Copies of this chain bind each other. A is one copy, B any other.
């Protein structure tokens, strides 16, 4: 069969996906020596390599072949309880049948979309938002609406006004609002307490569910903020957790927490797509680590890196280029008025610095025709301060600053 004959075999979902550039287009291939300000990797010194290797050793010594089967590792079976304990300390008690371990937050988002979205469903997202979440939602519905974020997170007043307009005009209301309320990717913004309460009230008033992606929730630089889930008395929040930022992304462990019927349905679609070995290693590690102490350590590390990043930004970025001061997480979101960051990227890579162009965080991006157009977010870019040394951050930002200065 010739390659182009394959088109007729594809499902409707593939044809939808084909209207967009393939996933991962936002992650450029890097030339040698390029400073990778693009990647949301954890700081290398925070990855507990020796402890995880030791956990794997202890586990296999104690449990033998059990962690290598489909089921049967006693430690792996403790993982949901360990995650529930952590949620409880953060004001989110959930029952045993209200949690499902997933292959990272990405599978959690995918399962939530499978369970909650039909092709006619409307999903509301933040603008900008996590590009992989956009990629997931696009597989399930073409109806994605977006509401802007400022330094206090999702602008709930704009959301409220648009919901009211939709209701008045008889337009379909969102079934689901996806939010990274705490230390958002890419803005680093944190939804204020007032807006958190307002969002929960809107969910009741306009009858939608909230999908709270809390991957960065423990990585704040200031006082802890309550997760939406911890404020949710109506049971409208579906919570997505992740060990990627708190332990290590390569273990690919996340989880869903929500009402029992939802978790049961998500489990039907998850089937045996878990990872017994990785789950057992993670549980063995978590069972023996001081997690609260580790979280405080991570907060110090990333607060320090954010400070280094801001010093570099102040030193190297030209007048008129601004940013949202990150309140936590991995990223800083930079405004470059008059400069198209998608068009600039090739030059930046040649100059030895990689970033993610702002357009990829907007739902309008990703069309296969996008090269022709100027898109929302084109005068923004995302830098990651999470994984580079102080010198690397300084070098990368100085290269970016020099390039931006030339453009003005």
From known contacts A11-B117, A53-B57, A259-B6, infer whether A69 and B135 are also in contact, taking CB-CB under 8 Å: no
- Tell me whether A49 and B22 are in contact in the complex, defined as CB-CB below 8 angstroms, given that A9-B116, A277-B252 are known contacts: no
Cross-interface CB contact of A41 among B9, B70, B175, B209, cutoff 8 Å = B70
Closest to A139 in B: B269
Q: List the B residue with the shortest CB-CB distance to A50.
A: B60
Cβ–Cβ contact A10 & B139, under 8 A: no
Other A-B pairs, 15, CB within 8 Å; known A3-B260, A65-B248: A10-B115, A11-B115, A11-B121, A13-B269, A17-B268, A22-B268, A41-B69, A41-B70, A47-B69, A49-B65, A69-B250, A73-B250, A104-B273, A106-B273, A110-B273
Task: Annotate A11-30 by CB proximity to B: 1 below 8 A, 0 otherwise.
Answer: 11110010000110000000
A371 to chain B, nearest CB (A): 19
A44 to B69 CA separation, bound complex (whole angstroms): 9
Bound Cα distance A262, B8 (Å): 11
Assess whether A11 is in contact with B250, with CB atoms less than 8 Å apart: no
Residues 264-320 (chain A) with a chain B CB within 8 angstroms: 264-265, 267-269, 271-278, 280-281
0 or 1 for each of A91-102: is its CB under 8 Å from B? (1 = yes): 000000000000
User: Which B residues touch A169, using CB under 8 A?
Assistant: none
Q: Complex: how many Å from CA A53 to CA B68?
A: 11
The prevalent SS among residues of A at the interface is helix
Whether B65 lies near A114 (C-beta < 8 A) is no
Residues of B within 8 A of A267 (CB): 22-23
A contact residues, range: 35 or more
Q: Which residues of B contact A272 (CB under 8 A)?
A: 104, 106, 132, 252
The interface residues of chain B lying within 8 Å CB-to-CB of A73 are: 250
Residues of chain A having any CB pair with chain B under 8 Å: 1, 3-4, 6-7, 9-14, 17, 22-23, 39, 41-42, 44, 47, 49-50, 52-53, 56-57, 60-61, 64-65, 67-70, 73, 103-104, 106-107, 110, 114-118, 121, 132, 135-136, 139-140, 175, 209, 234-236, 244, 248-252, 259-262, 264-265, 267-269, 271-278, 280-281
A7 CA / B278 CA spacing, docked (Å): 33
26 A/B residue pairs, CB under 8 Å, sorted by A = A4-B261, A9-B116, A10-B116, A11-B114, A11-B115, A14-B114, A14-B265, A23-B268, A23-B271, A41-B69, A41-B70, A42-B69, A44-B65, A47-B65, A52-B68, A68-B250, A68-B251, A69-B249, A103-B275, A107-B273, A139-B268, A139-B269, A249-B276, A252-B275, A273-B273, A277-B278
Taking CB atoms, residues of chain B closer than 8 Å to A244 are 70
Tell whether, in the assembled complex, residue B49 and residue A60 are in contact, meaning their CB atoms are under 8 Å apart: yes
Report whether B41 and A64 are in contact in the complex, using a CB–CB cutoff of 8 Å: no
Contact of A265 among B17, B132, B277 (CB under 8 A): B17
> CB-CB < 8 A to A274: which residues of B?
252
